[in-house]
Amino acid sequence: ALFSHDAQRVFDDIDRHFQLSKETLVELTQAFIDEYRLGLGSYGKPMAMIPTFVTGVPDGTETGTFLALDLGGTNLRVCEVVLNGDKTFSLRQQKYRVSEELKTGEATALFDYLADSVDAFLTENTPSEPIPPMRVPTMPIPGSQDVVHLGLTFSFPVEQTALGAGKILTWTKGFSAKNAIGHDVVQLLQDAFDRKHLHVKCVALVNDTVGALLSRAYTAGGCILGAIFGTGTNGAFVEQVANITKLGNSDAAAKGGLMVVNTEWGAFNNSRSHLPSTPFDNALDRRSINPRFQAFEKFVSGMYLGEIARNIIMALIDAAPKPLLLSGKFTPLLNTQWGLDTSVMSDIENAWEGEKRTEPSSEDHMPPFTEFDESKLSENTKARLQRVRTTMVQRLGYEDEDVTLRDAAIVKWACGLIARRAALLSGVAVAATLIQTGRASLPAGHDNITSSEGAEKEEKIGVGVDGSLIEHYPHFERMMRESLKILVGEHIEKRVDIGMAKDGSGVGAALCALMASKEM
């Protein structure tokens, strides 16, 4: 279609391929639930549905002081968390950069760096804010008072065998450190601590989604789902042990009750049979370090949305016989794979929004770009597009005169398409979880389970979220709720209480370290 004299058809085609109809959303949700159930039934399925051995959620009364280490996002974080027992906590943290070399080199080098960072945190004072002498965490373990207990938030697929043990299954999000897959991540870290003679014991291993779930449960007094929409996307929810049939006749299965499951939902659609992908998605996937894996994540999360936008923009710039955007001019940044960060899309949409958040209007959608006439724009629209243009100049490296208001409108439109699709798909994941846990059902004729306990009750359904995308992308939550409404009905959607799990990884790891300490 890009090789066409009919410019409007090119825009219309792109627009159409990014839309998700109600029918598609319902089908995707059903497929999502099917993959949930497949993963709960056996190991080695695309959606890993990892049992976490976390058998309950906190209620806000927990107390103690713990160290937490968080690896899996853009930064490595070390924090000290004090749980006050009244739904509040205090936290002191330090971030450290993880270089590309560490991400892709030898695993021992990566884990030595983690240990060094903890060491630095415990010994160094930050210049701006002198740290009081480190309180020894209140660990009631006889004879080991000087050992600090640490919870590790490790946001990669791990086959967990206990609260404090788990084998690394695969790397995601640009990591590929060698000699790590198949090894126990807690042991790798503990060995690094021991090599450096640190008095730190890693007692708990948590995924960031589990952290979000636990910390939201602590601060809100309850929660059923923790979900991340940041560099990657993933979710963890509270499941009946009886439904996790792959636990077979293990001790955990015999105990029954509840267990948090880390879904690894980023892998939904690895079979490529469900999500309607566009050439822009396919190009991204082909050039990624993990083609065909983390398929859902590539439609939804911060690491990828900017690249999809870049692919659309570049295709329009490259279009023949005539460029359809920016007179065919590109910048070094746009010409570089991963050069366009998702935060640029966010900035573009914020520029369009202006100071006050407005309700969506017909202006938000695509005007017919081929009939675009600056002189016919309202003053308001002109001002909005001028702000978008300024953002493009600032963030994409164009000269002011290179960018027309029409270019600004097209780029804003492309960002909107991608973000809206991502948010609607995020709603699919939440809806699938509500249905799987018996709190909702799909529109009649689709789901094979009728909603059971909890469905009649009017109480809130807690969802703890974290990640820059849901925190900062304009209207992300509103659009996510749009698909929730379609999928589970407005009466359920209204009860869904979506709240940021602030500092989720730190507080969640601390809560998990507390649970592990109690079991010791």
Which residues have a Cβ under 8 Å from the Cβ of 355 and sit 6 or more positions away? none
Rounded Cα–Cα distance for residues 240 and 229 (Å): 25
| Closest by Cα among 131, 112, 123 to 188 | 112
* Binding to ligand ADP in span 329-368, by CB under 6 A: 341-343, 346
List, by residue number, the catalytic residues.
Answer: 77, 155, 208
E-strand ranges in 23-112 read 50-51, 63-71, 75-84, 89-97
Minimum distance of ligand ADP from residue 208's CB (angstroms): 7
Sheet holding 148-154, edge to edge: 89-97, 75-84, 63-71, 148-154, 200-206
Site string for ligand ADP, 450-489 (x = CB under 6 A): -----------------xxx--xx----------------
Structure tokens at 149: 């207990």
What would the DSSP string read from start to end of 102-140?
HHHSBHHHHHHHHHHHHHHHHHPPPSSSPPPPPPPP---
Question: In this chain, which of 151, 226, 230, 462 binds ligand ADP, going by CB under 6 A?
Answer: 230
| 3-state class (DSSP) for residue 92 | strand
416 lines the binding site for ligand ADP (CB under 6 A): no
CA proximity to 188, closest of 177, 180, 196:
180
Which residue of 74, 94, 108, 277 would you call a contact of ligand ADP, by CB under 6 A? 74
State yes or no: residue 503 binds ligand ADP (CB under 6 A): no
Please identify, using beta-carbon distances, which residue of 68 and 442 lies nearer to ligand ADP.
Answer: 68
The stretch near ligand ADP (CB under 6 A) out of 1-9, 299-307, 321-329, 432-440 is: 299-307
Can residue 419 be called a binding residue for ligand ADP (CB under 6 A)? no
512 and 160 in contact (C-beta within 8 Å)?
no
Site size toward ligand ADP (CB under 6 A) is: 16
Smallest gap from residue 414 Cβ to ligand ADP (A): 15
Structure-token pair, residue 268: 């939904």
Compare residues 219 and 468 and give the one whose CB is closer to ligand ADP: 468
Given candidates 46, 51, 235, 302, which one binds ligand ADP under the rule CB under 6 A? 302
Cα–Cα distance for residue pair 98/78, rounded to 1 Å: 13
CB of 429 to ligand ADP, least distance (A): 16
Applying CB under 6 A, which part among 163-171, 177-185, 300-308, 490-498 lies near ligand ADP?
300-308
- Cα torsion 227, 427, 470, 326: sign: positive
Identity of the residue, 110 or 377, whose beta carbon is nearer to ligand ADP in the bound complex? 110
226 touching ligand ADP, by CB under 6 A: no
Is residue 171 part of the contact set for ligand ADP (CB under 6 A)? no
The answer to whether 251 touches 226, Cβ cutoff 8 Å, is no
CB of 228 to ligand ADP, least distance (A): 6
Distance CA 305, CA 469 (A): 10
Q: Does 164 bind ligand ADP (CB under 6 A)?
A: no
Tell the smallest beta-carbon distance from residue 76 to ligand ADP (Å).
10
User: Helix, strand or coil for residue 162?
Assistant: strand
Shortest CB 431 distance to ligand ADP, Å = 22
- Which of the 8 DSSP states describes residue 97? E
Contacting residues toward ligand ADP, per CB under 6 A: 73-74, 230-231, 302-303, 306, 341-343, 346, 467-469, 472-473
